């Protein structure tokens, strides 16, 4: 059964999604007695989360005051990929204020990687993106204990197991931090502002350097008892398949990740099975998963077949 969010969460979420709203309309929308709503608003104003924004249009009596999320709110989003770091600072309505992206290898370990994250966040401060951060959200490409804020035996992240990611960032930036699997966060984003906005139950599948799945049940993320729910990339689909980066054999990720698709595409280009891929290989010396996608759009039979074969494997696992 889905739990009911606390009043302050529902209120802040409504202001995030709708912008400035009158006190009277907030009471109507949240179906909340006005005295209780006003008391909660005053508390949020005192904490710096909410600010007044002028007077609302008259509803036939005394004009109500508009309230909005404080324009000074700043949140940092950190996406740690297998081969990249993305850092973005947003305001309370999740509108970008500053963004930084650079290549990185997650296998360098948590100390090196998080030191670079801290440097990018401090750069954002120097650049004027924020005076102080109100919270940080971090996505990592592996299972996470959401309660503890630590990765748990992540297959492609050596040295990260149980590393105190949340604790380190909270201490460094003096604000709350949350850590979750990157695909869970993508699924949350799709629920917030994508095609799943009004859907209670869905799967969000990411196929990139790795393969993962975010699971929504009854309107909430399902993480499983150990944080591994949705970690489909390391389910074995072929006991005689290629070696996976996690050390096992025949994982889904070893057969249909971006790297696996590029490997199969290179073989097809060299064998003459795909004119489109052969042309790209001759022109650039290498082919990628993007080349396969572009070849499929152009109607190349081999590219289409590579994607179909991988799609069947993913569908079988799901």
pLDDT score recorded for residue 71: 93
pLDDT score recorded for residue 60: 61
Per-residue pLDDT tens digits for 133-154: 999 999 999 999 999 999 999 9
pLDDT score recorded for residue 59: 60
pLDDT score recorded for residue 210: 86
- Report residue 297: phi and psi, to 5°: -60, -35
pTM of the predicted protein model: 0.85
pLDDT score recorded for residue 3: 65
Is the torsion defined by CA of 74, 40, 28, 26 positive or negative? negative
Domains and CATH numbers, the chain: 6-69 (1.10.10.10), 75-189 (3.30.420.40), 252-317 (no CATH)
Q: ∠250-253-257 over CA atoms, to 5°?
A: 130
Residue in 97, 176, 95 with CA at minimum distance from that of residue 133? 176
Distances (CA, A) of 11 to 20, 33, 114, 234: 12, 13, 33, 40
Surface-to-core class of residue 39, CB atoms within 10 Å of its CB (0-12 exposed, 13-18 middle, 19+ buried): exposed
Q: ∠188-19-175 over CA atoms, to 5°?
A: 55
Alpha carbons 149 and 163: distance in angstroms, whole number = 9
Give bridge partners of residue 181 from the DSSP assignment.
140
Q: Which residue ranges of the chain lie beneath pLDDT 70?
A: 1-3, 56-63
pLDDT score recorded for residue 167: 97
pLDDT score recorded for residue 58: 65
Residue in 95, 94, 97 with CA at minimum distance from that of residue 13? 94
């Amino acid at each position: 059964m889905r739990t009911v969010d606390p009043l302050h969460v529902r209120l802040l979420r409504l202001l995030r999604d709708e912008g400035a709203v009158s006190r009277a309309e907030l009471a109507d929308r949240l179906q909340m007695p006005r005295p209780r709503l006003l008391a909660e608003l005053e508390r949020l104003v005192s904490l710096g989360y909410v600010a007044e924004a002028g007077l609302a249009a008259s509803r036939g009596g005394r004009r109500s005051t508009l309230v909005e999320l404080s324009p000074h709110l700043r949140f940092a989003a950190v996406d740690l990929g297998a081969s990249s770091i993305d850092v973005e600072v947003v305001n309370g309505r999740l509108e970008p204020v500053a963004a930084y992206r650079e290549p990185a290898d997650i296998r360098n370990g948590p100390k090196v990687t998080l030191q670079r994250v801290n440097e990018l966040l401090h750069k954002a401060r120097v650049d004027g993106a924020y005076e102080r951060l109100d919270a940080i959200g971090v996505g990592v490409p592996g299972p996470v204990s959401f309660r503890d804020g630590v990765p748990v035996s992540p297959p492609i992240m050596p040295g990260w197991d149980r590393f105190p990611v949340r604790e380190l960032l909270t201490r460094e930036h003096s604000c709350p931090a949350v850590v979750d699997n990157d695909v869970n966060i993508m699924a949350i984003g799709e629920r917030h502002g994508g095609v799943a906005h009004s859907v209670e139950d869905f799967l969000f599948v990411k196929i990139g350097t790795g393969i993962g799945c975010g699971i929504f049940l009854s309107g909430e993320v399902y993480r499983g008892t150990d944080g591994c729910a949705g970690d489909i990339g390391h389910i074995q689909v072929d006991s005689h398949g290629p070696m996976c980066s996690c050390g096992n054999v025949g994982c889904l990720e070893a057969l249909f990740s971006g790297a696996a698709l590029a490997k199969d595409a290179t073989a097809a280009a060299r064998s003459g099975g795909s004119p489109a891929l052969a042309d790209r290989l001759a022109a650039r010396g290498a082919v990628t998963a993007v080349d396969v996608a572009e070849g499929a759009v152009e109607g190349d039979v081999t590219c289409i077949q590579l994607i179909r074969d991988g799609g069947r494997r993913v569908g079988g696992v799901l």
